[in-house]
Structure formats: structure tokens, C-alpha cells
Amino acid sequence: MNSVGILLHPVRIRIVRAFAGGRALTTTELGERLPDVPKTTLYRHVGILASAGLLEITGEQQVRGAIERSYQLNRASARISPQQAAAMTTEDHRYGFAAAMAALLADFNAYLDQPKADPTADMVGYVQVPLWLSKAELASVAAQVRDILASKMDNEPQPGRRLYLVSPIVFPIDQT
């Protein structure tokens, strides 16, 4: 299975997101972040991601007779390149979008299920804004958004910071 096929799965998308910000996690810690994913499913998908080189082992320790590994995301491998995206079929894109939306919905439900969830205070947003744009204007908007996000991608955890998921989704909505 190629890296696109590996990445385009709802559980694996959520696992990759859990490692955001350079986190190193054990499967136990990962399970605490994704409590709705059965342990056997979690271990299977971590194994797939590790075998494909998307997760790297950063440490091992003996825990009650078993070896527990810490993993970290290989950020360079955990992205679909523009060339890979261009090679995808419309069915690949349909499946990838559905997988991403399923992962997003699961993450949002997990957030809402937290006892202290406060969408207003947390500035939760899910507004959709239709824009009339030329190809050049769309490219400019995409570059600006990419630059804004890239400027914050290497932020480290520190007091006052909370990890947010930002999911820009862009596609044409008319037939012209």
C-alpha cells in the first residue's frame, strides 16, 4: 500500500493528528487521546503507520514484561505531496475526503464529550464562506493561508497554548 492509501483512513488520520506538534507518544498515551478507538484497532494502525515509515520509534522501555515503544511522526512522510494528489483518481479523492470528514467528526465529537468542552470560549468555528475567485485569486488565498499556518506549525507546547485543529477545505461549488 502506498503512503496515500495508508494516510487516507479515518483512524490513521486521527493517529497522525494525535502526534501533531512533534509529540512522542506510547500506544498507551495514544489510546488515552483516542479513547473511542479499540486497543486492537489502535495497535494495528500504529503498526501499519510504523511499517510504512510514517511513525518512527523514538524509545523503548520494559513495562510489565512487555516492551512499550514511543513513537513520533515522520512529518515529511505524513503528507500527501502535490504530485501524489495529482496522481489520485476522483474515487481516491472521494474516499480521502470521506476519510478526512469521518476523522474530523470523530475528533469533534471527542472534544464535545469532554466535561469542560466550551465551544464559545474555545472559539470553535465551522463557518463556510463561498467566494467568487479567479484561479489566480484562489492561488493567492491558498498561499496566504498556507503561509499563516506554516508560521505556526512549529509552535511548541507552553503555558497559555492549546492545540487546535484547523481544517481548511476548498472546492468549487458551481458548474461554471
Q: DSSP per residue over 7-28, as a string?
A: HSSHHHHHHHHHTGGG-EEEHH
Q: Which residues pair with 129 in a beta bridge?
A: none
Whether 175 shows a pLDDT value over 90: the answer reads no
pLDDT for position 1: 62
Average pLDDT over residues 136-161: 92
- Does the pTM exceed 0.85? no
pLDDT for position 80: 84
